[in-house]
Amino acid sequence: MNGINKIKNITLQNYLTNNLVRNFDLRLFRLGILLLAAAPSISFLLLLLSTFGGLFNREDKFLEDKYSWLLIISSFLMIFNCFLITLDFIKIPELDKSLIWVGLLNWIPLFWCYWCFQKYLKTKKDRMICGRLFVIGSLPVLISGFCQNFLGLYGPYRFLNNLIVWYQRPLGNDGGVSGLFNNQNYAGAWLCIIFPICLGFLFIKSKDNILRFINFGLVFSFVIMIILTTSRSAILAIFISYLISEKFNKNKFLAIFIFIISSILLSKILLLVNIDIQKYITDYLPSGIFNKFNSFDLSNIKTLPRFDIWSKSISLIKQNLYFGYGAGSFPKMYQLFNGNFAGIQHTHNILLELAFNHGIFVTLFILFTMVNTLISSSKKYLLQNKDRDLTLIDKAWIISFANFLIIHMFDITYFDGRISILSWTLLAGLRSIAKEKITS
């Protein structure tokens, strides 16, 4: 009997130890997600610590995942490229070579996070909790943005001996709101990527009217704040989120038709009653949002900054297609290549940025990982229109990552650590969805 009791005690002890370890690293992960927007330095530390727990007590194996191999190869190619530039096999004039090594931090550690975070996003419940934490963690972004725009409260505000910094810069000429982020485009990117998840919670049926009111208020606040950032890509992402969400998807063509007809009729009525609607709108919305949209004209597309940036980026990539020029080299190379615009820091397209910095093979491997994971996780819902295997929040994760890819076709906010961690966390969730469907 004593031997049996000892075996039982050892089994119970192992169970409790494993359960406590799992709960501890899971709590680290979730707390890191909650603090990601408002306290990134603390969040990065918590998420890093959680990755060690993400290695254990899981059925899938790292080297058995095809995407792991693609990311491992990409890592080696990036490092090899850095050695080539450091040893002057690839000569780049006046380049601070330390930048190319620092630039690896934007990618290789996040490949690791992508694998480890899958453990914490394995089930629909896990993804729902994480999605809720993303939304709650965005409240400081909303609050700081509204205070910046309507109350004129400008920072920077510093906490814990500069460990946390909320920038809240004075509004510029275009009136774009940045909130606690350093740049309004970063704020717009964060909000529009989280927005589908926020929308998903609104669409969940609930008998709790207070909860429904809170969810509606959050969606409304997200929309207003995204508009206040004046980010065109973020505003575009609002419409994309709504068009491909479940509730709107069933009647989207009818809704688009009604929207167009209603807009035409409304414009005719306003002309008849002689109301200067533009004056009322411009009194409440940032002037920069109208300037940005009015400046877009297909007839003069060749004069737009992005056309010049993209065309010169492609020309430079062709000259060094396989290895790239290294992180941080684009401003100097663009200037040497007679760029027409000053102060350009990147290619304004995530694929061009990867190809320019690290070569075409790295670009293809990372693109394949992202796009194929997106397709694998969404094919039943988006391609076959069968949604019984996915919850609303799973669909929201799919749309959120699609938003990330869309906005990064026109701008790069990825180099803000919060945006990059957000994107790879979403991708880890999509990989978990794909695995769940494959094993179901």
What is the DSSP annotation of 380-397? IIIIS---TTS-HHHHHH
The three-state secondary structure class of 65 is coil
What is the DSSP annotation of 70-102? HHHHHHHHHHHHHHHHHTTSS--TT--THHHHH
- The answer to whether 176 and 226 have CB atoms below 8 angstroms apart is no
- The answer to whether 184 and 177 have CB atoms below 8 angstroms apart is yes
d(CA 33, CA 27): 10
Does residue 261 surpass a pLDDT of 80? no
- The answer to whether 47 and 32 have CB atoms below 8 angstroms apart is yes
* Residue 166: strand pairing partners: 157
pLDDT digits (tens, 9 = 90+) for 73-102: 999 999 999 999 999 888 888 788 888 999
The three-state secondary structure class of 164 is strand
**C-alpha pair distances (Å), 283 with each of 72, 179, 243, 276, 280:** 52, 20, 29, 12, 5
**pTM of the entire predicted model:** 0.84
- Please classify residue 22 by burial: count the beta carbons closer than 10 Å to its beta carbon, then call 0-12 exposed, 13-18 middle and 19+ buried: middle
**Residue 105: its pLDDT value, please?**
94
d(CA 331, CA 334): 5
d(CA 147, CA 35): 20
pLDDT digits (tens, 9 = 90+) for 28-78: 999 999 999 999 999 999 999 999 988 887 878 888 888 999 999 999 999
d(CA 102, CA 177): 29
d(CA 116, CA 108): 13
Inter-helix orientation angle 209-229/232-243, to 10°: 150
pLDDT digits (tens, 9 = 90+) for 242-251: 766 655 445 5
Question: Which residue, 186, 70, 248, is CA-closest to 419?
Answer: 186
Average confidence score pLDDT of the chain: 81
d(CA 197, CA 192): 10
**C-alpha pair distances (Å), 360 with each of 110, 321, 363, 373, 418:** 20, 6, 5, 20, 26
Token pair for 25: 């690293």
Does residue 190 surpass a pLDDT of 90? yes
**Would you kindly state where each structural domain of the chain is located, as residue ranges?**
20-57, 63-121+304-440, 138-289
**Residue 18: its pLDDT value, please?**
53
**Residue 148: its pLDDT value, please?**
92
The three-state secondary structure class of 157 is strand
pLDDT greater at residue 407 or residue 234: 407
Q: What are phi and psi of 158, to 5 degrees?
A: -120, 140
pLDDT digits (tens, 9 = 90+) for 298-317: 555 566 778 889 989 999 99
Q: Which of 8-17, 196-205, 239-248 has the lowest mean pLDDT?
A: 8-17
